[in-house]
């Protein structure tokens, strides 16, 4: 029987490459993205995959998506969280959240919690959260929405740290939670920037970034054979052990839960 693999951000970069890989194996792939352009790209490159359009920075749209996916796919084998956008300037969502926090933190928690039921019905379920785990980053407890002095790097690093804390607090014996940092992969990293920085990032990415095709095999290995531990953190295929304060993880998970209860 084929597996069901749900990939947020499955229309570009690493997510698209994973969609292509699993569709070629005959698995049922559901790729989520916010733009019709991404949908067209997926349909052209991976016609066997199902495209679902959803703005994952919206709590309301994410809840609707979780409901639809749970109804359409009572068993989900793998959930890959790869939707991300780098915001050089502070952007707020229609629901009033800082965009990076909404997409990188609130959405990932809602997807993981919302699809817990279908995941727990799979024989060897796994969540793979593609993020900047292990690069440091801190939770700005006094200003989670970075209202005072937004910096894109701080927002991104906070999201990476948030992923580690939410992974640590996930708490499922059946569903293995894998935090995976692909480090520097040549995807569309230059796209959010204006010239001349855009050209510099594009050149650096071409010179130093890992090709997407090389970044994918260690990720599929973890999806196909999830680690035994409930939570594990990986950096470019190698296991790492970032320090996690259990109290901070629980406190953060509760805070995010309260914020998501819009
Ligand atoms: N590339 C790297 O070097 C690197 C390094 C460390 C961590 N990572 C992590 O790896 C993951 C994949 O990175 P990537 O570079 O492959 O990404 P990417 O090529 O930039 O693709 C991002 C994906 O997210 C989707 N997306 C963005 N905003 C969305 C929204 N509001 N709602 C729904 N979908 C949305 C995009 O589709 P639409 O544009 O259609 O919305 C696209 O499919 C990310 O989580 C990233 O944090 C990457």
User: So where are the chain's domains?
Assistant: 4-260
Q: Which of 40, 82, 92, 193 to mutate to test the pocket of ligand 1 (most atoms within 8 A of CB)?
A: 82
| Average pLDDT, integer, range 143-151 | 96
| Residue 124: both structure tokens together | 């060897």
- pLDDT for 241 equals 92
Helix (H, G, I), strand (E, B) or coil at 183: coil
Tens of pLDDT, residues 183-216: 999 998 788 888 888 888 888 888 889 999 999 9
- pLDDT for 173 equals 85
Percent of the chain with pLDDT over 70: 100
| Average pLDDT, integer, range 6-31 | 98
Contact (CB, 8 A) for 29 and 49 = yes
Which H helix or E strand runs over 29?
strand 28-33
Q: Cα–Cα distance between 7 and 123 in angstroms, integer?
A: 18
Distance (angstroms) between ligand 1 centre and the Cα of 8 equals 8
- pLDDT for 119 equals 98
For residue 61, the tally of other CB atoms under 10 A from its CB is: 17
- pLDDT for 205 equals 84
- pLDDT for 247 equals 96
State phi, psi for 29 to the nearest 5 degrees. -110, 130
- pLDDT for 262 equals 61
- pLDDT for 216 equals 98
| Residue 119: both structure tokens together | 């995941």
Q: What CATH superfamily classification does 4-260 receive? A: NAD(P)-binding Rossmann-like Domain (3.40.50.720)
Distance (angstroms) between ligand 1 centre and the Cα of 174 equals 27
Q: Cα–Cα distance between 39 and 201 in angstroms, integer?
A: 25
Write the DSSP symbol of residue 231: E
pLDDT at 7 over 70: yes
- pLDDT for 224 equals 98
Model confidence at 84, pLDDT cuts 50, 70, 90, reads very high
Q: Which of 124-128, 131-135, 193-197 has the highest mean pLDDT?
A: 124-128
Distance (angstroms) between ligand 1 centre and the Cα of 68 equals 22
Ligand 1 pocket at CB < 6 A: 9, 11-15, 32-35, 38, 54-57, 82-85, 103, 130-132, 181-185, 187-189
Non-local CB neighbours of 191 within 8 Å, separated by 6+ positions: 198
- Residues with a known catalytic role: 170
| Average pLDDT, integer, range 66-81 | 98
- pLDDT for 207 equals 87
CA-160 nearest atom, ligand 1: 47
- pLDDT for 103 equals 98
| Residue 153: both structure tokens together | 């790097």
- pLDDT for 32 equals 98
Distance (angstroms) between ligand 1 centre and the Cα of 43 equals 18
């Amino acid at each position: 029987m084929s597996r069901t693999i749900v990939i947020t951000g499955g229309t570009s970069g690493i997510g698209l490459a994973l969609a292509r890989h699993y569709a070629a194996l005959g698995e049922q792939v559901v790729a989520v993205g916010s733009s019709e352009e991404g949908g067209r790209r997926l349909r052209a490159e991976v016609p066997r995959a199902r495209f679902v359009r959803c703005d994952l920075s919206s709590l309301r749209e994410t809840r609707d998506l979780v409901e639809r996916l749970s109804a359409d796919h009572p068993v989900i084998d793998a959930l890959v969280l790869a939707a991300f956008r780098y915001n050089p300037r502070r952007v707020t969502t229609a629901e009033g959240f800082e965009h990076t926090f909404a997409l990188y933190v609130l959405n990932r928690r809602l997807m993981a919690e919302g699809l817990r039921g279908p995941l727990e019905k799979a024989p060897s379920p796994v969540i793979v959260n593609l993020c900047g785990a292990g690069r440091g980053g801190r939770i700005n407890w006094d200003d989670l929405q970075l209202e005072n002095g937004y910096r894109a790097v701080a927002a991104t690093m906070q999201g990476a740290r948030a992923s580690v804390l939410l992974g640590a607090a996930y708490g499922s014996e059946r569903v293995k939670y894998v935090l995976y940092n692909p480090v520097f992969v040549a995807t569309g990293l230059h796209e959010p920037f204006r010239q001349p920085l855009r050209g510099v990032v594009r050149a650096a990415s071409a010179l130093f970034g890992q090709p997407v095709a090389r970044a994918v095999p260690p990720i599929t290995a973890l999806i196909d054979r999830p680690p035994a531990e409930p939570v594990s953190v990986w950096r470019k295929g190698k296991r790492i052990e970032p320090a996690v304060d259990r109290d901070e993880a629980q406190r953060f998970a509760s805070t995010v839960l309260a914020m998501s209860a819009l």
